[in-house]
A and B are shown apart, each in its own frame.
Chain A
């Protein structure tokens, strides 16, 4: 693993930020980047809950894969400034152009940086459900980014895919001597998750199908997500890239904690329903023994239990 942490791209970023808003102080010129296997570069997001002008909503793991002809970006980050930092980092790494931007799912911490890569010939790839999800959430996401980043949110935009993949199907992309596979999954973490498989290095980019350190943020269905995990585990990857946590992790052991947590919530809610507990009682009792195992537990767990209860009460 060749590390190129602290790659300096201060100049480019400072120039861009001055152009955008004059808020030079907001930019931390260091943009971490790790080449986890030959040709796959991952930037580690900061796994903190609060978005601020100082962190530029740099919350998710994002990065790119370099082929002989061109580059595929996987998630452009939580804001346009982060997308521009990623773009600058790519330029410092390779002279190949970006041909694909793969949006792993609708969440804004992954894809608000998209406009940094908008250019002729760049294809935006995403799940067939992604455009609909973007359409439904754009207003709320955009308003909350403006609230948190102020002027630095300017230009950040969720970008609908120009090429889509239906749930259960996959799409092969050729980067020149390097084939990658974009696979779309059914309802789980969200209803619009895709993963990326790099044949050459047997690396599986899972994005938010895999949370490490940070508690899984559920925006779909836990029973669905557990089914997806069962299928994902069959993929014989050598290493995987989680959406939050380390830049690379061993497979399949990396997903054990997430699977344990989701199973515990689903089982706990089913038992609460069987015991005729109310939704509030379930929120107060289910899964709290996991609290010490995860970052941001307080901010996500109750909501996950609420949604799971509302879903599972319809099970027979």
Chain B
């Protein structure tokens, strides 16, 4: 019943795949540096700056499965190897997926108030691809970690059900560990109920592509100070989900603001009281 794994394989992917120059079926992953897409992306985002290959993940490590069971929901973990301090911190994290129609899956911004610049999320992956996490330090240094994944059809996978866009209002939900300690990096999770619909899904009968509708930006602050922003697109899975850290220095509100491609803006907050658990 191998149709089940391949039920999301879409012809729309094939031409893009050819463009991406991704090697198929090879036992050894293709050379990450030689990817044509990466060469283009690298040039437009980092020009000729040196990118340190952080194979050991000392600054940034990228964890993902080797083979995606569900290419529309691939868990990705970016773990960083340093605390965010005023003197030295990661100010940006880029997540690239070479084989996706839009290879820039996410750009995260962090501050010293983040505590740690770790991120967990779930992405769609269209074809066998290199994944890359590039960390940009406050001093401008760049570190990159790569991971090769076997996945196909994630971007052209139909959502289970699609809401009527005109009436749709995204919902947000925070999850925070109840034992919050002052001055300690604290894990938080933001769940966004949103179709995050990809434009690559084609309806066979109407012959039309699904109308894209996805979350564009996420801003999270604590006590009025920026913790994390995410500039994202439909490479993020349906019902986007982000795990990140913040460092509470006292009572405050953890607040999220989400804007989507139909300019719908939703906000949500949760009150945090270090020492006595969140409410």
Contact = CB atoms under 8 A, between A and B. Distances in A.
A136 B159 CA distance: 9
Contacts of B100: none
A103 interface: no
B91 interface: no
Contact of A140 (B7, B73, B120): B7
Given A50-B2, A138-B204, A144-B9, A191 B161 contact: yes
Interface string A18-29: 000000000000
Interface in A267-316: 276, 278-280, 283, 296, 299-300, 302-303, 306-307, 310, 313-314
B3 interface: yes
A128 to B, nearest CB: 14
Contacts of B7: 108, 137, 140-141, 144
A162 interface: no
B1 A217 contact: yes
Interface in A21-57: 48-51, 57
Contacts of A283: 69, 75
A136 B201 contact: yes
A65 B3 CA distance: 28
B3 A280 contact: no
Nearest to A311: B239
Contacts of A220: 160
B246 to A, nearest CB: 15
Interface of A: 48-51, 57, 59, 107-109, 134-141, 143-145, 147-148, 191, 214, 217, 219-220, 276, 278-280, 283, 296, 299-300, 302-303, 306-307, 310, 313-314
Main secondary structure of the interface of B (DSSP, over half): loop
Of B2, B3, B5, the most chain A CB neighbours within 10 A belong to B3
Given A143-B11, A144-B7, A307-B70, A135 B203 contact: yes
The 9 closest A-B pairs by CB, nearest first: A138-B204, A136-B158, A302-B69, A144-B6, A303-B69, A135-B205, A280-B75, A279-B75, A303-B70
Interface residues of B, number: 43
A109 B1 CA distance: 7
B95 interface: no
A140 B1 contact: no
Contacts of A302: 69-70
B191 A140 contact: no
Interface in B208-264: 237-239, 241, 243
A306 B1 contact: no
B202 A139 contact: yes
Contacts of B238: 310
B79 to A, nearest CB: 11
Nearest to B4: A217
Interface in B3-39: 3-11
29 contacts: A51-B2, A109-B1, A136-B203, A137-B158, A139-B11, A139-B202, A139-B204, A140-B6, A140-B7, A140-B8, A140-B9, A140-B157, A141-B3, A143-B9, A144-B6, A147-B6, A148-B3, A191-B160, A214-B1, A278-B120, A296-B1, A299-B4, A300-B4, A302-B70, A303-B70, A306-B70, A307-B73, A310-B73, A310-B237
A245 B177 CA distance: 45
B117 interface: no
B122 A279 contact: yes
Given A137-B7, A147-B6, A306 B73 contact: yes
B173 interface: yes
Nearest to A214: B1
B2 A148 contact: yes
Nearest to A305: B69
Given A139-B202, A302-B69, A278 B75 contact: yes
Contacts of B204: 134-139
Contacts of B205: 135, 138
B171 to A, nearest CB: 9
A280 B63 CA distance: 10
B138 interface: no
A50 B70 CA distance: 18
Nearest to B171: A314
Contact of B10 (A143, A280, A314): A143
Contacts of B187: 276
B75 A140 contact: no
A140 B156 contact: yes
Of B69, B156, B237, the most chain A CB neighbours within 10 A belong to B69
